[in-house]
Structure 1
Amino acid sequence: MPRKIWTGSINFGLVTIPVGLYAATEDHTIQFHQYERGTTDRIRYKRVNERTGKEVGYNDIVKGREFDGGVITVEQSELDEIAPGRSRTIDITTFVDITEIDPVHFQKTYWLAPNSKEHFRPYNLLRRAMHETSQAGIATFVLRGKQYLTAVRADDNVLALNTLFFADEVRDPGELVGEDGEQAKPSEKELQMATTIIESMSGPWEPEQYEDTYTVKVEDLLAEKARGGEVEAAEAPPKPTDVIDLTEALRRSVDEARKGRKPARAEENLSELSKAELDDRAKRLGIKGRSKMKRAELEKAVAEATEKPTGTDGRRSRKAS
């Protein structure tokens, strides 16, 4: 069971519900240590007093910052004392339609669960009410010394809490594109072809169909180096499409889409997949006899199955233009 990282309560109106906060996601990134080149000696970091050069214990370190020409230090207990609700409440101040929140504001997702069985009734009451009204509760709370703006919303069986960026934390995108973005307008023909490509590649959101292929490649790299083998470089990324060739690239993409195929670039990446990834892809495509196929045969079978026009069984169907 996930570890509880915060304990407090949700407040809406005069109702207070004790809850615990849990991480909703987990990071599968391969973690590396640091070693001195040519050795197996680990590199360690130490907390050192920059004036004396001596190592300082964790309990002897306090937070501080420069202020009015000097340095002001504060204890964690002092920060806790001034935190809203002593860092133990999620105060919902208003309810909004979740679709009105620009995705750029979303930061991280957590699960909220009642602290005990006796609190399930008010907990489920809030969850069901928000589900029925399609509303999310906007609240603030303090976690690990930082105040967060949050959206509490109803998920399938649990309350979810999304931390949000405050308005002044979101950068103005206009500074990045300036007037050039408005001046470089596409032609109607280009827009029509691009729309056709998007529609042909449209499909339902199925997160289980997407995998972290880079982590698999890192694991394969480590295994290959352990065997003393050579590391095979991945295919170079495609070159940017020249403005002069844009229309031709769009036309070819539309032709592929009308044949019920993915753009050729996606097909060429099959050689970068591991054998396990190809097996899984073949399973989803319903390829028979895949367990007896060698890698080259499997890659060819997957490529051919992917190229087939839209079917009626729903397993490989895509919207056609």
Structure 2
Amino acid sequence: MARAIWSGALAFGLVNVPVGMYSATEDRTIHFRQFEKGTSSRIRYRRINEDTGKEVDYSDIVKGYELGTGDYVILEPEELDEIAPGKSRTIDITDFVDAAQIDPIYYRKTYYLAPQSKGDDRAYNLLAQAMERSGRIAIANFVMRSKQYLAAIRSEDGMLVLETMYFADEVRNAQDEIARMPSEKDKPAKRDLDMAVTLIDSLTTDWDPANYQDTYREKVLDLVEAKRSGEDIVTPEEGEGEEDKVVDLMDALRRSVEASRQHRAGNREQAGGLQRTAPDHDADELSAKSKKELTDLARDLDVSGRSSMSKDELVAAIEGARGTRRKKAS
């Protein structure tokens, strides 16, 4: 069970709702350790004084603010502590806005807010249902770990969800940052625009996050498992695609619309993978897969009851489904 990373009260006018804050997301990026090539020796980083070459204790390190001229203003930890925002136990709601008015570029990280005890449910539900009925999002300020945050709070299925936000001066202006902006004079022809809208319509589907996956992470894990098992790896070569031969914009759009007739939502079907020199037998090939991979394959084969199956049961069910398909094809 997850632990609250912050606890306090959500202030709504004169109403205080005691809440705990929980991370709503997790970073599943694969992280590596560094080693010297050809050895099992770890590479570690140390705090080194660039003038003396000696390692410096963390307690002897102070912070410097660069002025932009190569000069620095040195700040002592005590000086920063004096002006740091004090510990806060309140998320202060200052305004309510329409959700459509907030550009998603301002959102940073998502957290769940939950009542701290059963006695807090009444006030919590009151705020959640009132916000859901109004269709508005609360804007609030709070302090967590000596850092001040701007936040947006929304109600979703009876749950209050808080998203930390960037302040206005933290969002870059595209016109200030990008040297060449698209020219408004080069407008698309009507037929091209109509065809592009048709393509968008044909690729439109209902949002389902389960349709999308980190295909790179899956390939890395597949590579790790293959090397751990001592298997040989063959990287498939990328062939020349049809799109490389298409020059005319209208022709490219027309081909895209035709291809979209076979469209399936998400990127799961496009994942591809490493070609591993596995045994020819289906059972051996399937047994080498993780339970998650087997469950995904069982779903593609419409195997019923797959969610409650063990790994061995999934292997047997997939073999049976494949055999049935081969018979139908013959």
Q: Is the 1:64–1:74 Cα contact (8 Å) retained in structure 2?
A: no
Q: Deviations over 1:286-308 (max 9, x none)?
A: 3799712899x99x9xxx9xxxx
1:280 paired residue among 282, 296, 299:
296
Q: Is the 1:92–1:140 Cα contact (8 Å) retained in structure 2?
A: yes
Q: Which residue of 1 aligns with 2:164?
A: 163
Q: Which residue of 1 aligns with 2:251?
A: 248
Question: Which residue identity lines up with residue 318 of structure 2 in the other structure?
Answer: S
Map 1:17-56; keep pairs closer than 5 Å. 17-50=17-50, 53-56=53-56
Q: CA deviation at 1:143?
A: 2.6
The whole-number CA distance in structure 2 between the counterparts of 1:69 and 1:57 is: 21
The whole-number CA distance in structure 2 between the counterparts of 1:51 and 1:94 is: 52
Q: CA deviation at 1:122?
A: 1.3
Q: Is the 2:34–2:43 Cα contact (8 Å) retained in structure 1?
A: yes
Map 1:52-91; keep pairs closer than 5 Å. 53-65=53-65, 70-75=73-78, 78=81, 82-83=84-85, 86-91=87-92
Question: Which residue identity lines up with residue 121 of structure 1 in the other structure?
Answer: R
Question: Which residue identity lines up with residue 226 of structure 2 in the other structure?
Answer: E
Q: CA deviation at 1:280?
A: 2.1
Q: Deviations over 1:107-131 (max 9, x none)?
A: 1111112222222221221111111
Q: Deviations over 1:170-198 (max 9, x none)?
A: 12223437453323322111111111111
2:318 paired residue among 291, 295, 304:
291
Q: Which residue of 1 aligns with 2:281?
A: none
Question: Unaligned stretches of 5+ in structure 2?
Answer: 276-285, 305-315
Q: Which residue of 1 aligns with 2:96?
A: 95
Residues 30 and 127 of structure 1, relative CA distance in 2, 3 Å threshold:
same
TM-score (norm 2): 0.74
The whole-number CA distance in structure 1 between the counterparts of 2:96 and 2:174 is: 27
Q: CA deviation at 1:146?
A: 2.8
Q: CA deviation at 1:243?
A: 8.4
The whole-number CA distance in structure 2 between the counterparts of 1:19 and 1:167 is: 27
Residues 268 and 165 of structure 1, relative CA distance in 2, 3 Å threshold:
closer
Q: Secondary structure at the match of 1:182?
A: coil
Q: Deviations over 1:213-262 (max 9, x none)?
A: 221110111122233444333554969768832211111122234xx322
Residues 28 and 102 of structure 1, relative CA distance in 2, 3 Å threshold:
same
The whole-number CA distance in structure 1 between the counterparts of 2:50 and 2:33 is: 25
1:190 paired residue among 189, 192, 203:
192
Q: Which residue of 2 aligns with 1:130?
A: 131
Q: Is the 1:235–1:272 Cα contact (8 Å) retained in structure 2?
A: no
Q: Which residue of 2 aligns with 1:319?
A: none
Q: Is the 2:223–2:274 Cα contact (8 Å) retained in structure 1?
A: no
The whole-number CA distance in structure 1 between the counterparts of 2:154 and 2:321 is: 48
Question: Which residue identity lines up with residue 248 of structure 1 in the other structure?
Answer: D
Q: CA deviation at 1:158?
A: 2.0
Q: Deviations over 1:49-92 (max 9, x none)?
A: 4455444444554545468964221339825x641x63332111
Q: Is the 1:66–1:72 Cα contact (8 Å) retained in structure 2?
A: no
Question: Which residue identity lines up with residue 96 of structure 1 in the other structure?
Answer: V
Question: Unaligned stretches of 5+ in structure 1?
Answer: 305-321
The whole-number CA distance in structure 2 between the counterparts of 1:130 and 1:214 is: 39
TM-score (norm 1): 0.76
Question: Which residue identity lines up with residue 138 of structure 1 in the other structure?
Answer: I
Q: Is the 2:7–2:19 Cα contact (8 Å) retained in structure 1?
A: yes
The whole-number CA distance in structure 2 between the counterparts of 1:179 and 1:27 is: 33
Q: Does residue 1:233 correspond to 2:235, yes or no? A: yes
Q: Which residue of 1 aligns with 2:310?
A: none
Q: Which residue of 1 aligns with 2:118?
A: 117
RMSD of the alignment, in Å? Answer: 3.6
Q: Is the 1:91–1:141 Cα contact (8 Å) retained in structure 2?
A: yes
Number of residue pairs the alignment of both structures matches: 294
The whole-number CA distance in structure 1 between the counterparts of 2:181 and 2:47 is: 48
Q: Does residue 1:153 correspond to 2:154, yes or no? A: yes
